[in-house]
Amino acid sequence: MVPQAQVNQNGPAVFFPMRFRLRKDGLLQYISHLDFVRTMTKALVRSKLPLWFTQGFNPIPKITFAAPLSVGMESDCELMDVRLCEPTSPDVALKALRAVMPDAHLEVLDAYIPENKLSSIGYLAYDLCIAYDGISSAHAEEAERYLSSPSIVIEKTGKSGKPREVDLKPMIASATLKWDEEKEEIVGRWVLSASPDAFLNPDLLLGALRTHTPLMQCEGDVWYSLRRVEIYAPDLTVFR
Amino acid sequence: MTNEQKRAAVLRSVSKPGRYTGGEYGQIVKPDSEVRMRVAFCFPDTYEIGMSNLGMRILYHVLNQTEGVACERVYAPWLDMDSEMQKRGLCLLTHETARPVGECDIVAFTLQYELCYTTALHMMMLSNIPLYAKDRGEDAPILLGGGPCAYNAEPLADFFDIFSIGEGEEALPELCRLYMKMKREGTYSKSAFLHEAAKLKGFYVPSLYEISYHEDGTISAILPKYDDIPKKIKKRIVEDLDKAPFPEQFILPYIETVHDRSVIEVSRGCIRGCRFCQAGMVYRPIREKSPDTLSRQAKCLYDHSGHDEVSMITLSISDYSALGELTDKLLEWANPAHVGLSLPSLRIDSFGEQLMQKVSSVRASGITFAPEAGTQRLRDVINKNVSEEDLMRSAEIAFRAGKGSVKLYFMQGLPTETEEDLAGIADLANKVVDVYYSLPKSERNRSVNVTVSVSCFVPKPFTAFQWEGQDTLGEMEKKQEFLRSVIRNKHVRFHWHDARVSRLEAIFAKGDRRLSAVLALAVEEGVCFDAWDECFDFDAWMRRFEKVGIDPSFYANRQMSKDEILPWDMIECGVSREFLWREREKAYGEKTTPSCAEQCSGCGASECGGELRWCPKRK
Ligand code: SF4
């Protein structure tokens, strides 16, 4: 496929967009979004790909990320858009960036010419897994029942500092929680809204479950993992 | 729950978990099959600070290049992480392979400042390593210390097995090879190894030296326990910096650290002989890298990092003999790559117009000058060869170049200091402001602010002032009070350092091994991060000294006599004791000593060898 040139609104310079899909997991889930951005910026510079720099006094490469990932969350689908100043094939870009990545827990999975704007993402799918002392199948059942109730209202402190009530239910496309007898863990798959005007962070939902059900209520440490596994368009087809 | 799951739960709850993950770009992990020994290289402060240390970066690289050796990094966990770990009984792990530090063969600490001692010992405790060397069995790792504080590490003598004196690039691989050889040949036991290591050049094994004392508490003798180990331990240096190993790439932290940039080391040693400055003495003789080497190394670091800034490290950049050539060479590739250059603070006397232009064409790290003392008389005493004229001329150049803020560094409590010298500090600052107002409005920045930063003098081993006592705490605080009263210009900001911190530094800087008692007590009480405001508790320290029956003023405030045996007298740093005493006498005579560029004053450092650009040929 031959990448299409696009014209920058701020000036005449022509650029070629490229999208990378990354995996970020293991210990590197504890790297904040800002640090992730800095890391990828440096990696792109090292890759020697023909980066398009912003015009002006302090030129910087133009790099855009989809919905920031919280610290302590893993992902198979971090999207990063980069502007290049020369037409470059996705295969070449993929190889160049892969060669300069820091660690196996930060892997470039794919490179392609973007088909949709990052701002038109509809949903994100998460896999989760929970373990703690005193966990039981009853906890899973009760939590799942709560998730299927007609509304899930929580109190949120708004920007003004005033608490207000929000119903999370309309932002849940689907959500399960199942008991894994063998591992003694609770596992689930949640598909949550991720559009810019209605972004549901799974941590918020976990918090609600913790308040309203016995899930994760124990004296000692709670261990859990949350992993973004797929990105969907508003019509629930895979986003590209 | 597994330990791993416990750690995961902890990482979610602590601040900046990114400092504990490892897996950074450029870290070195050797396959197990290539590893015959492991060195845990510990920096006794936070990850953010440790990651910026050039010495550790070089030695990490050097050790990992040594066949059979795997070197892994370790940093002090911050307070929240520390308490979570202790609560769950989790031990300290290395960054690269998450291995318990206590399972490594050598645990090395770089000792950068006195106030990190408790942090180092605390890290040993977190690694389940017994504190006292005598309590550690054959299975326990060898505890190695190095860095600037190793020149007088006596307060740590009872805890560490061995110290590396001087530059470690050649010494540390040698020590590791000895270790592997003895293991392979089956001749290894801890005591046999330490005895052999004590014969290597540049290694000090404190347990092999017997210290005895006079009744008044001063030292009566320092004697080696064996005939075949040296009476005096000579420091090691790297002779030719152009050939010295230097990393091709740095480890790139994920999180923001103190200096997120590439760093090149322009030179070692200093041709100036400021009489209070330890670095200026112990890094002698002066050796430089060539512009070619430096530009190549900087470019290589850039290619492997993606950094947008290169910083040049040296004690005195303007004394570098090929500065113009170096900056030109660097700018040649740095400009097109959008990479900026930064220079460390400049000396006043050589801060010329031309350099200023280069500094502003690159990214200047701010205009700072260090006159150190307020009057010419006192500047002569400390051999800071800088005149008021120099300062004013440099300030004018800076203001004309559009700079609006200037930082001036001073010290209070220097030997022979009077009230006049202190008042001179305020004077100088006022005159700098006057220089600004003497310029036409069109040729200066819109506003001016001068920051006067005054630290307290700490007498250091291996300086002309090593025999001096520090002002008492009361005197130091009175002087700060006085300075506050005389600095009354609305364009001048006064910034002072906590005198109590300086006092504790002086105690440990000039301390001997009897101080181990107070350090052990502090660590038992959970003390660490003394260099951090949130942890520093001076009164608690004084209580501890009292409890163990040590008078801290014996170390900090006592004037030592010419012939007294100093606690660090078993170490030879190259610069001779006779030279230092001569310098001390000249200080009291208010006489200056020329820089090595003008004339050699026979400090003795040329005996260490090295590429002798400044020093006369050895006989
Ligand atoms: S030997 Fe002479 S030239 Fe060399 S460092 Fe010492 S004083 Fe300077």
Worst-scoring range by mean pLDDT, B104-108, B244-248, B606-610?
B606-610
Amino acid identity of A103? Answer: D
pLDDT in tens, B357-415: 555 444 454 578 889 999 999 999 999 988 899 889 888 888 887 788 888 999 999 99
> Could you tell me the distance, in angstroms and rounded to a whole number, from the CA of residue B568 to the centre of ligand 1?
22
The helix/strand/coil state of B57 is: helix
Nearest to B466 by CA among B574, B373, B562, B379: B562
CB contact under 8 A, B17 and A102: no
Residue B175 predicted with pLDDT over 60? yes
Mean pLDDT of chain A: 91
Chain B CB within 8 Å of residue A131 CB: yes
Residue among B41, B23, B26 nearest B301 (CA): B26
Contact indicator for B219, B570 with CB cutoff of 8 Å: no
Q: How far is the CA of B283 from the centre of ligand 1 (A)?
A: 11
Q: Is the dihedral of CA A195, A196, A202, A204 positive or negative?
A: negative
Q: What is the pLDDT of residues A84-138, one digit of tens each?
A: 999 999 999 999 999 999 999 999 999 999 999 999 999 999 999 999 989 999 9
Domain ranges of chain B: 3-234, 261-343+589-619
Question: Is the model's pLDDT at B618 over the cut of 70?
Answer: no
What's the fold here for domain A6-114?
Alpha-Beta Plaits (3.30.70)
User: So what's the pLDDT on residue B365?
Assistant: 47
What is the architecture, at CATH level 2, of domain A120-232?
A: 2-Layer Sandwich (3.30)
Q: Does B344 touch chain A (CB under 8 A)?
A: no
Contact B1 A133 (CB under 8 A): yes
Does the pLDDT of residue B4 top 90, yes or no?
Answer: no
d(CA B104, CA B128): 12
Predicted pLDDT at A1: 45
Percent of chain B with pLDDT over 70: 96
User: Measured between CA atoms, how close is A223 to chain B, in angstroms?
Assistant: 5
Residue B267 Cα to ligand 1 middle (Å): 15
B20 reaches A (C-beta below 8 A): yes
Q: How confident is the model at residue A8 (pLDDT cuts 50, 70, 90)?
A: low
The verdict on B137 touching A (C-beta cutoff 8 Å) is no
CB contact under 8 A, A27 and B255: no
| Range 48-77 of A in CB contact (< 8 A) with B | 53, 59, 71-72
> Is the confidence at residue A2, as pLDDT, over 60?
no
pLDDT of residue B443: 84
Write down the domain spans for chain A.
6-114, 120-232
In this prediction, residue B353 carries a pLDDT of 60
Q: Tell me, yes or no, if the two domains A6-114 and A120-232 fold the same way.
A: yes
Q: pTM for this one?
A: 0.92
* DSSP H/E element including B437: helix B419-438
What is the B603 CA–ligand 1 centroid distance (Å)?
5
pLDDT reported for residue A221: 84
What pLDDT, on the 0 to 100 scale, is given for residue B385?
85
On whether the B261-343+589-619 domain is CATH 3.30.750.210, my answer is yes
For ligand 1, which residues put their CB under 6 angstroms from it? B 284-286, 596, 600-603, 605-606, 614-615
Nearest residue to B111 (alpha-carbon basis) of B37, B165, B192: B165
Which residue from B576, B592, B601, B607 has its CB within 8 A of the most atoms of ligand 1, so it is best to mutate? B601
Q: Quickly count: other Cβ atoms within 10 Å of residue A91's Cβ.
A: 10
Which pLDDT value is given to residue B457? 97
What distance in Å separates the CA atoms of residue B126 and residue B588, rounded to the nearest whole number? 47
Pick the CATH number of B3-234 from 3.40.50.300, 3.40.640.10, 3.40.50.280, 3.60.40.10: 3.40.50.280
Separation CA A44–CA A32 (nearest Å): 18
Task: Please enumerate in sequence order all residues whose Cβ is within 8 A of that of B474, keeping only pairs 6 or more positions apart, or say none.
Answer: none
- The strand pairing partners of A225, in sequence order, are A129
Put simply, the answer to whether B12 touches A131 (Cβ < 8 Å) is no
| pLDDT tier for residue B617 given thresholds of 50, 70 and 90 | low
What local confidence, expressed as pLDDT, does residue B605 receive? 93
The pLDDT assigned to B360 comes to: 46
Q: Which of A159-163, B139-143, B187-191, B207-211 has the lowest mean pLDDT?
A: A159-163
pLDDT digits (tens, 9 = 90+) for B566-581: 999 999 999 999 999 9
Digit-coded pLDDT (tens) for B516-528: 999 999 999 999 9
Q: How many CB pairs under 8 A join A and B?
A: 86
Instruction: Give helix B323-334 / helix B291-303 axis angle, nearest 10°.
Output: 30
pLDDT tens, position by position, B433-472:
999 999 998 888 888 989 999 999 999 999 999 999 999 9
Which segment of A57-66, B425-434, B473-482, B494-503 scores lowest on mean pLDDT?
Answer: A57-66
CA–CA separation, B283 and B271 (whole Å): 10
Using a pLDDT cut of 90, give the percent of chain B over it: 78
Structure tokens at B554: 């014996």
From residue B38, give the alpha-carbon distance in Å to each of B29, B32, B559. 11, 10, 44
B355–chain A nearest CA distance, Å: 23
Whose C-alpha lies nearest to ligand 1, atom 2?
B600
Task: State both tokens at A56.
Answer: 């002006």
pLDDT computed for residue B361 by the predictor: 43
Residue of B nearest to A70 (CA): B12
Q: Supply the pLDDT for residue B362.
A: 43
Confidence of residue B26 (pLDDT cuts 50, 70, 90): very high
How far apart are the C-alpha atoms of B231 and B212, rounded to whole Å? 15
CA B593 – CA A74 distance, rounded (Å):
62
Give the separation between CA B609 and CA B268, rounded to whole angstroms.
Answer: 13
- Residues B27-48: what's their mean pLDDT? 97
- Whole-angstrom Cα distance, residue A5 to residue A1? 13
